[in-house]
Structure 1
Amino acid sequence: MASLRARVLRPSGPELAVFVSGVASMGLEILAGRIVAPQFGSSIYTWGSIIAVFLAALSLGYHLGGRRAADRATDERLAWLLLGTAAYVALVVFASDLLLATAGAVPLPGRFASLPAVALLFGPPTYLLGFISPYAAELSETEGVGAASGHVYAVGTVGSIVGAFGTTFVLIPALGVEAIGVGFGLLLVATALWLTWRGGRREPTVASVVVALLVVGAGFSGTLGVSPGGPVLHQTQTPYQELEVTQLGDVRTLYLDGQPHSAMDVSDPDRHVFDYTRYFHLPMLMTEDVDRVLFVGGGGFTGPKHFAEAYDVTVDVAEIDPAVIGAAKRYFDLEESERLNVHNTGGRQFLRETDHTYDLIVLDAYKKDKVPFQLTTVEFMRLAESRLDDDGVLFANLISAPSGPASKFYRAEYKTMARVYPQVYTFPTAEGSAVQNVEVVATKSDERLTEDALRRRNDRREIGIDLRREIGYYRPPPPTDDVPVLRDDRAPVDALLDPMVGRRYVVQRTAENGTEAPARRRRGRSPVGV
């Protein structure tokens, strides 16, 4: 017991190198998802590529390291391996955007598109870390090959556990990608420096200082606050995604994992900057009396704010990411009130636990390449239906193409909703078959509203916004024979999204708001009829 305590408190140089290599390899694997996601998304294909590349690189390093360990294993070579890894991490921090763009040019099917990027950015450093364990096993003071190997791999696994938990629960919520990369680089350098001091060799010590300067310099150069959306006002890594707030002119935009999610005109906060948010008001033409509304997904809270301000209704919002709520309060004028309640929870969990019923539920938690499948299935649609009043409406803001190969997700969602709701309507937001916001509206009514009926209701009802143009995008039901009904036990959302990989997401912007009325619509006072 005393011997074990001494080894834990005063590990040997090889043991420390193995522990740190475990921390760094698992930490970089988790960080890889955040670096790659803005360009390639964070689908199951991206994560599959990340896991496969890391395992392949480690395996190759283990194999070659094991063959060379008997002749080449020394503390000095362990230090050089750690320094080589740190230098490559500095390159990743400094030039990740360039490397991603270069690798992204490789012509591959969408589901494999991220593989070259992951291999280029993370294959070499992970390969070098693979040498550490067999070298350390050769240098281990533990008697017996089996005992030495078991001890070394146990130490490395403990390091991987620390790297996984530390990166996931501590580093990503608190720091940016560049800062975390710099931290891993400096950890590797510090370990190499400690190894060389023990051996009294000068060359690795000097190299450690040089590599440390490279790592720190890469971190500073990688934090310039400019993006395609304008100067960056705020950027952070949340437990769920990369969040960035930019401003170009008077338009402030929220980006989640590199995709525009919400926007606000700071000079005219009531203006609908993104055209699709105007469609949120279509349900006001499909039901006669709206008292309570639920938004699943907050973003910049454009829809919830407009509903709470324009109508005499109570608005609940279920937003799972606390950082999104914080950014909305700081940069998008979100203020909670008696009519606007924000709940930091997932949409499905909120619907299971709430004792409220709603006249309108808006699903606004989908992205182009990252869709929470639990909010797409027939079981979820039944849960939402049970929380709607008899004349309630479900509105889903999907990102898909309305037709063509990239429309599979929209058509599968339409088919799924149609299993639960008597009437389902489709409203694209742009012409053609581009990837865009496709609004799908479901009602519990047996009566199907025609385009003409919606136009007449738009003319007669005072809802504060003229929706004639939006109604003009009314489309007939799509073909669904070739797509599945999504279920909890089988919801191949990533496969349905795959045809959209690499296609540009078209977000329509408005020049003017189009809202009328300074006066707020009073509950139950709007003219009805078709």
Structure 2
Amino acid sequence: MTYGDGRDQGLPGVAVLVAMQGVVAAASLVVEIVAGRMLAPYVGMSLYTWTSVIAVVLAGFSAGHWAGGRMAEAPPRRALLLTGWSMAGAALSTAAAVFVLRLAAGPVIAAMQSPVGAIVALSMLVFFLPSFFAGIPAPVLAQIAVLARPGQTGRALGAMFAAGAVGAIGGTLLAGFLFISWLGSAGTLAAVTAAYAGLAALCFALAGRIAPVGRWAVLGLAVLLPLGVAGAGLARPDPCTEESDYFCIRVIEEPGAPGVGPTRLMVLDHLVHGISSRDNPSEMLTYHAAALDALARARMAGRDRFGAFFIGGGTYSIPRSWAATRPGAEVTVAEIDPVVTRVAAREFWFDPASARVLNDDARRALLTRPDSYDVIIGDAFTDIAVPPHLITREFFELVESRLTGEGIYLMNVIDHMDRLQALTAIARTLGEVFPVVEIWANPDAIGVENRQVFILLAGRSASPFSALRTLSPEGYRVVRFARDARDQLLAETASPVLTDNYAPIDRLLGHGDWAER
């Protein structure tokens, strides 16, 4: 007697079980990848976000594997029936994730003192159950594969484990390169819901224990209800104006202050990255843009022509202003997300022909193009932190090599007044490369809120001025820290020199607060 394909026992063949395990693994990894994107508009995309998502998903898988192990001890047909119900649960909880997140985000964030605690709580509320249900089939299907091939149990188990790994790889690639780009977060979850619902129906059919009278009710509950919930999720308004490979991009219309005209805000994930005025391109409506613009203009005063490189585009407010008021400025912008550039051109009145736009990572753009610039401006963020690879000594050495003799590097830094470890770490690292490092801030804002915006200026010579007033309706003041005050701040704050090997910017920023972003 042979049991090569399990037919003598009435069991599904190993090939069918392998395919099912691959689909489950792929779908579960798609949900894990999309989880970070879904949380980003509410809590940002940071190391804490991904750490929480991965931990919660793995906890769900672990609990599901334990429960599935208990189910695997049942007779195969009953185990398949229970697995079908677990797949129905996976489909329903995945479809409901859109609603759970949108309903829970506000109350959870308002109730939690710690942003990290809120991230963990939201991750648990929204993504634990889908991961738990998705973890159940693996031990059940592996057990049935062993029973189907009693003489080749090692091969059967190896095939099942391989299917899980290959499925996970496939799901990761599909989510990152296909689903989110083309379907968006809600559409991707709807596709996963359909896959889980199909697996539930297949498990029920393989179990062969559904009475004809109850078959339609079971299939309706297992398939139609989750698909209906997923469809309702697709019908809900999308929080993103556009969802790119990198960001949830939102455009918010505002009437504008008197004399400014209509204005629009660009929100990337949950951080306002820029504000632009239709009628007054020269006026900067955010402090960081106003300060960067004012310092660059002042240091380039008297020059008819100069070259500038921008790290990050956002609303392209400064390049748009310089195109209108400084026609001698030759502007290059490295904006990694082409959709951000497209939205800036469509919604924020930016003319792409007025600058050379590189859809590339800024570090790679500087490394592969040996051009020299008089001004390099850093204004790239993930959440409230500058990406780690753009704040290291090695990167600043690259920046220094691309500056002309009297060229300057300007960057925007957000930090908390009760810590200032991120600010001092970046300033200390710049000091390893540049002979002059200046810290600029708005004296009218310090002490008003904990989180503050600072501007770092680095170069070979000091600025011949210590205060400026910006070109903005508010007329922001930008004041340089006195040298003694800067040196005292660096001496009193414990912060490391940042390198490609060690740049813990999330830890240096600390947990922060839930101030409006």
Q: Shorter-chain-normalised TM-score: which range?
A: 0.7 to 0.9
Matches of 2:264 and 2:173 in 1, distance apart? 34
Cα deviation for residue 196 of structure 1 reads: 3.1
Residue number in structure 1 paired with 2:507 = 495
Residue number in structure 1 paired with 2:10 = none
Residue number in structure 1 paired with 2:453 = 437
SS of structure 2 residue aligned to 1:314: strand
Which amino acid counterpart does residue 125 of structure 2 have in structure 1? L
Paired residues of 1:89 and 1:215 also in contact (CA < 8 A): no
1:345 partnered with 2:360: yes
1:235 partnered with 2:242: yes
Residue number in structure 1 paired with 2:418 = 404
Matches of 1:497 and 1:73 in 2, distance apart? 53
Matches of 2:57 and 2:364 in 1, distance apart? 34
How do residues 469-508 of structure 1 correspond to structure 2 at under 5 angstroms?
Answer: 469-476=475-482, 477=486, 479-481=489-491, 482-500=494-512, 502-505=513-516
1:120 partnered with 2:125: yes
Alpha carbons of 1:471 and 1:424: their partners in 2 closer, same or farther (altered >3 Å)? farther
Paired residues of 1:368 and 1:399 also in contact (CA < 8 A): no
Paired residues of 2:38 and 2:185 also in contact (CA < 8 A): yes
1:204 partnered with 2:215: no
Which amino acid counterpart does residue 295 of structure 2 have in structure 1? L
Which amino acid counterpart does residue 480 of structure 2 have in structure 1? Y
Alpha carbons of 1:108 and 1:273: their partners in 2 closer, same or farther (altered >3 Å)? closer
Paired residues of 1:93 and 1:182 also in contact (CA < 8 A): no
Which amino acid counterpart does residue 94 of structure 1 have in structure 2? F
How do residues 122-201 of structure 1 correspond to structure 2 at under 5 angstroms?
Answer: 122-140=127-145, 141-143=148-150, 144-198=152-206, 199=208, 201=210
Residue number in structure 2 paired with 1:263 = 275
Paired residues of 1:111 and 1:498 also in contact (CA < 8 A): no
Taking every aligned residue pair, what percent have the same amino acid on both sides?
Answer: 27
Alpha carbons of 1:19 and 1:496: their partners in 2 closer, same or farther (altered >3 Å)? same
Cα deviation for residue 426 of structure 1 reads: 2.2
Cα deviation for residue 427 of structure 1 reads: 2.4
Per-residue CA distance 1:38-90 (angstroms, 9 max, x = gap): 33332222212222222222122212311331215433222211111111112
Which amino acid counterpart does residue 510 of structure 2 have in structure 1? D
Which amino acid counterpart does residue 142 of structure 1 have in structure 2? R
Paired residues of 1:262 and 1:274 also in contact (CA < 8 A): yes
SS of structure 1 residue aligned to 2:490: coil
Which amino acid counterpart does residue 370 of structure 2 have in structure 1? D
1:422 partnered with 2:435: yes
Question: TM-score, normalising length from structure 2?
Answer: 0.85
Matches of 1:468 and 1:215 in 2, distance apart? 48
Paired residues of 1:45 and 1:112 also in contact (CA < 8 A): no
SS of structure 1 residue aligned to 2:455: strand
SS of structure 2 residue aligned to 1:71: coil
SS of structure 2 residue aligned to 1:441: strand
Paired residues of 2:266 and 2:314 also in contact (CA < 8 A): yes
Residue number in structure 2 paired with 1:359 = 374
Paired residues of 2:190 and 2:231 also in contact (CA < 8 A): no
Residue number in structure 2 paired with 1:297 = 312
Paired residues of 1:318 and 1:344 also in contact (CA < 8 A): yes
SS of structure 2 residue aligned to 1:334: coil
Paired residues of 2:250 and 2:266 also in contact (CA < 8 A): yes
Paired residues of 1:83 and 1:211 also in contact (CA < 8 A): no
Paired residues of 2:285 and 2:473 also in contact (CA < 8 A): no
Paired residues of 1:329 and 1:335 also in contact (CA < 8 A): yes
Matches of 2:202 and 2:408 in 1, distance apart? 64
Matches of 2:25 and 2:474 in 1, distance apart? 60
Residue number in structure 1 paired with 2:259 = none
Alpha carbons of 1:149 and 1:103: their partners in 2 closer, same or farther (altered >3 Å)? farther
Residue number in structure 2 paired with 1:461 = none
Alpha carbons of 1:483 and 1:128: their partners in 2 closer, same or farther (altered >3 Å)? same
Matches of 1:186 and 1:57 in 2, distance apart? 20
How do residues 364-383 of structure 1 correspond to structure 2 at under 5 angstroms?
Answer: 364-383=379-398
Query: Can you give the 5+ residue segments of structure 2 that lack an aligned partner in the other structure?
Result: 6-12, 256-261
Residue number in structure 1 paired with 2:20 = 17
SS of structure 1 residue aligned to 2:413: strand
How do residues 303-314 of structure 1 correspond to structure 2 at under 5 angstroms?
Answer: 303-311=318-326, 312-314=328-330
SS of structure 1 residue aligned to 2:128: helix
Cα deviation for residue 113 of structure 1 reads: 4.0
Per-residue CA distance 1:77-131 (angstroms, 9 max, x = gap): 2221111111111221222122233444564655454222212211112111111
